[in-house]
Amino acid sequence: MEANGEHPAARNREEHGMSELSSNGIKKKKEIILQTANLMRERKLETITVRMICGAAHVSIGTFYHYFKKKENVVIGIFKLIDDYIESRLIPTLNSEDETENVVNYCRGFADYAENLGVGCSRAVNSIFPAPGGFSRDAEKRRPLYRELQKLIRRGIEKGQIGRKYGPGPITDAILLMLRGVDFDWARRGGDYSLPDRVERLARGIAGLLKPAGKSGAGNRPPSGSKHQKTGNP
């Protein structure tokens, strides 16, 4: 380990442009992220060592530093896990003709996954957001987390199920602020309530407010319970 806290393997990876794109390499990197998330179910990030992560992931310390400069950077990988889950697992289940119902189930699916990742992950993600190096506004909008939700809202507007007063961008922003805010509160309170249930109640309230005048639907329905499989492996 060097004086600046950077492992030589991490520096060499950057200097020599080692590829991370092999199938085996992708699996190893993902396993490091997943096992870090699992460890954070019971421990705070600051108490988890790189050696503990490597032991759980069955990789060498050199392999760890091939992909990550430090353990805090692994947390950024959790954003990728969330995006992968949304794009490959959650979106295909949202097939209601009522796009406000799809928005509600999108919110609940996000909360299901966040709850399954655990309080420790939520605390860690909230503590480093925005991520080192940032997510620029444009980069944020390209993430499946933002992009797929905005698609649902845009379709709802086109179908006349969501009012046109605010537009898809501001509505997407507001819903994501709600999701992140509730996730932060849930983690701060040690997970002492059901994150999916709380999120669904709020999402249905928002959906009701977004309906054009005289319409009713998803916003008036009671919480339905989780429809999405809880798993830490998207």
The pLDDT value given to residue 117: 87
Mean residue pLDDT of the chain comes to 83
Is 229 or 119 the better-scoring residue by pLDDT?
Answer: 119
Domain 8-69 class, CATH top level:
mainly alpha
Query: What integer pLDDT is reported at residue 107 of this predicted model?
Result: 98
16: pLDDT strictly greater than 50: no
Give the integer Cα–Cα distance in Å for 168 and 173: 9
Average pLDDT over residues 5-10: 52
Residue ranges of the domains in the chain?
Answer: 8-69, 75-220
Distance from C-alpha of 202 to C-alpha of 118, rounded to nearest angstrom: 21
Lowest average pLDDT, out of 20-34, 95-109, 180-194, goes to 20-34
**Residue 92, pLDDT score:** 97
pLDDT on residue 205: 97
CATH number for the domain whose boundaries are 75-220: 1.10.357
Predicted local distance difference test score (pLDDT) of residue 4: 47
Q: Which residues are within 8 A (CB) of 5 and not within 5 positions of it... i.e. 6 or more apart?
A: 70
Name the residue with higher pLDDT: 126 or 156: 156
Give Cβ neighbours of residue 22 (< 8 Å, ≥ 6 apart): none
74-113 residue pLDDT tens = 888 888 889 999 999 999 999 999 999 999 999 999 999 9
